[in-house]
Amino acid sequence: MSNPDSTQRFLFDQYNIRGEMVGLDHAYKEVLKRHEYPRQVQLLLGEFMAATALLASTIKFEGSLVMQLSSTGQVRTIMAECDQQSGLRAIARYNDDFSGNEPMIESGQIVISILPDNGAKYQGIINYNEQAGLSEAIEGYFTQSEQLRTRLWLTCDGNKAAGFMIQAMPDAADSHSLHLSDDDQESWDRISHLSSTVSADELLNLDNPTLLYRLFNEEEVRIFESKPLEFRCSCSRERSGSAVMQLGLEDARALIEELGYIAADCQFCNTQYHFNAHDIDALFSDKSNHRH
């Protein structure tokens, strides 16, 4: 396959065009292992994860990128998050009476959030049209929000997922414009045309150098070192504790009285965090100690 569980950048030096490839194998399977999904949801989830990894590979600072789809169709939400330390996680929710014969996504909307470790978060919202698909929605996001010409190809076979993206880099002098010089326009048209010949089978089954050679054998392509990706969840006992504290001491104690403990399960990785009476006292006394 495309190099599994990694992203890899490539560059056409003479044209100001960059590209990114992603392949997901174990990272995707780890997500499927944690929840049972209908096949159509599995496929969407794979493409969604590949897209999120491609988008995350374009951010230049430490932090993470979250992509969240909401819809009124058979699939209610899909959320994927990728951080700069190679962690990727994802989850989908669908109707209890799921039927593969009805539209998967209706009135779809995707919120893309970029969350830097330091600094303000950025959010962009795009509409998702089921006929046009995820690739086109993301191409629109880059055109509108980032003023970057972008083409994207995504695929998933239920076992592996892969994605391929090219982007025209802005001219230093003209960084907020989609305008390209005649030469750049011609190069962009040629590289997008060559890229568009990529098949799902090639994306899933060829290693990156072979794929690039097959698409661009008459072009000069510089390929960068690949960056690993793995399934990793950013949940922790501490974070779950903060969520429990939002109940307030009184309600938390009432729940303990009733159930003996409070369970806070991570939806992404199914880790169960349990808090007993002693834990609750410790959490809330900690809070009062640290009150400013």
* Piece of 42-50, 115-123, 195-203, 261-269 that binds Zn ion (CB under 5 A): 261-269
Residue closer to Zn ion by CB (options 26, 190) is: 26
The reply on whether position 280 binds Zn ion by CB under 5 A is: no
List the one residue from 53, 54, 266, 283 that touches Zn ion (CB under 5 A).
Answer: 266
> Which one of 146, 269, 277, 284 is in contact with Zn ion (CB under 5 A)?
269
Per the CB < 8 A criterion, the answer to whether 22 and 50 are in contact is yes
Place of tokens 């929000």: 145
Which residues in the 182-241 window bind Zn ion by CB under 5 A? 233, 235
The binder of Zn ion chosen from 141, 142, 268, 275 (CB under 5 A): 268
Closest CA to 48 of 79, 26, 22: 79
Nearest distance from C-beta of residue 231 to Zn ion, angstroms? 10
DSSP-derived 3-state class of residue 209: helix
Cα gap 68→105, rounded to integer Å: 13
Q: How distant, in Å, are the alpha carbons of 241, 265, 278 from that of 272?
A: 12, 4, 17
- Whichever of 11 and 269 has its CB closer to Zn ion, that residue is 269
Output the CA torsion sign for 91, 95, 96, 102: negative
**Euclidean distance between CA atoms 99 and 251, whole angstroms:** 38
Binding site for Zn ion (CB under 5 A): 233, 235, 266, 268-269, 271
